[in-house]
Chain A
Amino acid sequence: MLEVTGLNGWYGPAHILFDVDLTVGPGEVVALLGRNGAGKSTTFRAVVGLLAKRSGRVRFAGRDISDLPTHDIARAGLGYVPEDRRIFTELTVAENLEVGRQPARAGAATWTPERLFELFPNLGAMRTRPGGRMSGGEQQMLTIARTLMGNPKLVLLDEPSEGLAPKIVEEMATAILAMKGEGVSVVLSEQNLHFARLISDRAIIIERGRVRFDGTMAELEARPEVRDAYLAV
């Protein structure tokens, strides 16, 4: 589904990512783990074309998207939910969803507001409420729902649990598993190993811009030294 090879990224003069490789299969949930500043958000930004300077190849759903602008990458079916939610506070819930709407896509689940309200019942009860009047957890649900409106084949979720109450984080886990059930691949960046463990098939650990571990969740559990070295839980 997603195949990243030799990805390098720069932030101004600073070289942040070094030859990052990662692959995600159809319907797979992969956790990108690492400390703050390890390069998780930068990896996502590089994949969706929001980084000014980068090199390397990104193939998605059988096509090379390395040089496409951000909006064309989104139109290819690759959804991206940035770390700080960024819902449109002046727009209502329904309008927020409208911004994310894209035509139905072959080979991907088709989402409508009605279907999304089933997945996130809270949102259905507040369709005309401005985004700015929602709680943090509701806003996080809305950003995910908004991205699903584009009928993506794969979604990059940047720190979905950051700043949320533990209880909302549990609801988030349920929603991500539901997406997986619809065949949507998910890559989520996390610092919270407990949360990642609940939902992921595979883990990739990134540290100082390099991939240090790539394997199944069970393999990671079996190697506490890796966890201790790079995650400092």
Chain B
Amino acid sequence: MSPPLLAVEHLSKAYGGVHAVQDVSFTLAAGELLAMIGPNGAGKSTCFNMLNGQVAPDAGQVAISGRDVTGLPPRQVARLGIGRTFQITATFPSMTVRENVQVALLAGAGRMNRLAGHAGASFVAEADELCRLVGMGHAAGRPAGELAYGDLKRLELAVALANKPVLLLMDEPTAGMAPAERVEMMRLTADIARESSLGVLFTEHDMDVVFEHADRVIVLDRGRIIAEGTPAAIRENPAVRATYLGEGLTFGHAPAAGARAHA
């Protein structure tokens, strides 16, 4: 049997005596959407940052398709086919939408060291195709610095998809978007993921988004995994209700188990 797309084993990290992440293990298969939820400060961001090499773990291992990537810097993890989006969007505001994607394509092709030739004229077709894919085709020539927040999130997705990743790490992909936009954004991501059988790991506070789109959910609390399972099982899990979900007064009516928009 081939190794899973992403395998995390016994990952731990402490800051000044506080255990941000403790002994976290899970796997993720190609084509799967895995949600990581939990209260703020539960260690979700730290966990993400360890997966793409921004933070070095104290202990544990991260393997991508069986290859150990623990301790590699983000740029090397990226070259192994990991796309990432950030909680607060990170794009290049001084460039147009198209140029943002072109830079990602140039970087992926290893052509960033060329000292001559016009970068704005390379990979135009590929860049435009990606912009179209995320619904930004009409805005390809606009400066990223003046985009609305939702559009920035889309652009980030295009950039993350530029180099045909095998795994997407999305930290709160819909934070700061209007509810309708949220659903649309996740639907788009889910479609892309299933079409190209990408693995997607995402954190999210919007329970409606989580329960509608995730195949599986991991719940983190104080750095530990306290529950793992299908969205339906997680909703009914008493430990999760006690620490995280509460009585369900503050989120809407997610569809019942199994009724996900899953073709």
Interface residues of A (CB under 8 A from B): 35-37, 133-137, 161-170, 191-192, 194-195, 198, 231-233
Asked whether any CB of chain A lies closer than 8 Å to the CB of B196, the reply is no
CA distance A232 to B149 in the complex (A): 17
Q: Are B250 and A135 in contact (CB under 8 A)?
A: no
Expressed in whole angstroms, the minimum distance between the Cβ of B22 and any Cβ of chain A is: 15
Give 1 or 0 for each of B90-123: 1 = CB within 8 Å of chain A CB: 0000000000000000000000000000000000
Note all chain A residues with C-beta closer than 8 A to B249: 166, 170, 194-195, 198
Interface size class of B (residues with CB under 8 A): 20 to 34
CA distance A169 to B244 in the complex (A): 10
Stretch at the interface among B26-34, B68-76, B126-134, B177-185: B177-185
Q: Are B39 and A164 in contact (CB under 8 A)?
A: yes
Asked whether any CB of chain A lies closer than 8 Å to the CB of B259, the reply is no
Note all chain A residues with C-beta closer than 8 A to B175: 163
Note all chain B residues with C-beta closer than 8 A to A137: 39-40
Give 1 or 0 for each of B228-258: 1 = CB within 8 Å of chain A CB: 0000000000000011111111111000000
| Nearest B-chain residue to A198, judged by Cβ | B249
CA distance A166 to B249 in the complex (A): 8
Q: What are 9 A-B contacts with C-beta separation under 8 Å? A: A161-B250, A162-B205, A165-B38, A165-B246, A166-B244, A167-B243, A167-B245, A168-B39, A194-B251
Most buried by A among B41, B148, B246, B250: B250
Asked whether any CB of chain A lies closer than 8 Å to the CB of B139, the reply is no
Expressed in whole angstroms, the minimum distance between the Cβ of B192 and any Cβ of chain A is: 23
CA distance A198 to B248 in the complex (A): 12
Q: Are B40 and A195 in contact (CB under 8 A)?
A: no
Q: Are B40 and A166 in contact (CB under 8 A)?
A: no
Expressed in whole angstroms, the minimum distance between the Cβ of A84 and any Cβ of chain B is: 10
Taking A37-B149, A136-B41, A192-B251 as given, write out 11 further A-B residue pairs in contact, using a Cβ cutoff of 8 Å, ordered by the A residue number: A133-B16, A165-B38, A165-B243, A165-B244, A166-B249, A167-B245, A167-B246, A168-B246, A170-B250, A191-B179, A198-B250
| Nearest A-chain residue to B247, judged by Cβ | A170
Q: Which 4 residue pairs of A and B lie closest in terms of their CB atoms, listed nearest first?
A: A136-B40, A167-B246, A165-B39, A35-B178
Interface residues of B (CB under 8 A from A): 16, 18, 38-41, 148-150, 175-180, 205, 207, 242-252
CA distance A35 to B249 in the complex (A): 20
Note all chain A residues with C-beta closer than 8 A to B180: 232
CA distance A203 to B206 in the complex (A): 22
Q: Are B149 and A194 in contact (CB under 8 A)?
A: no
CA distance A103 to B127 in the complex (A): 59
Q: Are A164 and B40 in contact (CB under 8 A)?
A: yes
Known: A36-B177, A137-B40, A232-B179. A166 touches B149 (CB 8 A): no
Interface of B is mostly: loop
Note all chain A residues with C-beta closer than 8 A to B207: 166
Cβ-neighbour of B149 out of A36, A162, A164 (below 8 A): A36
Expressed in whole angstroms, the minimum distance between the Cβ of B176 and any Cβ of chain A is: 6
CA distance A165 to B179 in the complex (A): 17
| Nearest A-chain residue to B17, judged by Cβ | A133
Known: A36-B176, A37-B178, A233-B179. A166 touches B245 (CB 8 A): yes
Cβ-neighbour of B244 out of A36, A162, A167 (below 8 A): A167
Note all chain A residues with C-beta closer than 8 A to B248: 166
| Nearest A-chain residue to B176, judged by Cβ | A36
Cβ-neighbour of A135 out of B16, B40, B149, B205 (below 8 A): B40
Note all chain A residues with C-beta closer than 8 A to B247: 166, 170
CA distance A192 to B41 in the complex (A): 21
| Nearest B-chain residue to A231, judged by Cβ | B179
Note all chain B residues with C-beta closer than 8 A to A194: 249-252
Expressed in whole angstroms, the minimum distance between the Cβ of A55 and any Cβ of chain B is: 24
| Nearest B-chain residue to A34, judged by Cβ | B178
CA distance A164 to B42 in the complex (A): 11
| Nearest A-chain residue to B205, judged by Cβ | A163
Note all chain A residues with C-beta closer than 8 A to B177: 36
CA distance A164 to B38 in the complex (A): 9
Note all chain B residues with C-beta closer than 8 A to A136: 39-41
CA distance A191 to B175 in the complex (A): 12
Note all chain B residues with C-beta closer than 8 A to A232: 178-180
Cβ-neighbour of B178 out of A36, A161, A198 (below 8 A): A36
Most buried by A among B39, B149, B175, B205: B39
Expressed in whole angstroms, the minimum distance between the Cβ of B255 and any Cβ of chain A is: 15
| Nearest B-chain residue to A161, judged by Cβ | B250
Note all chain A residues with C-beta closer than 8 A to B38: 165
Expressed in whole angstroms, the minimum distance between the Cβ of A199 and any Cβ of chain B is: 11
CA distance A183 to B202 in the complex (A): 42
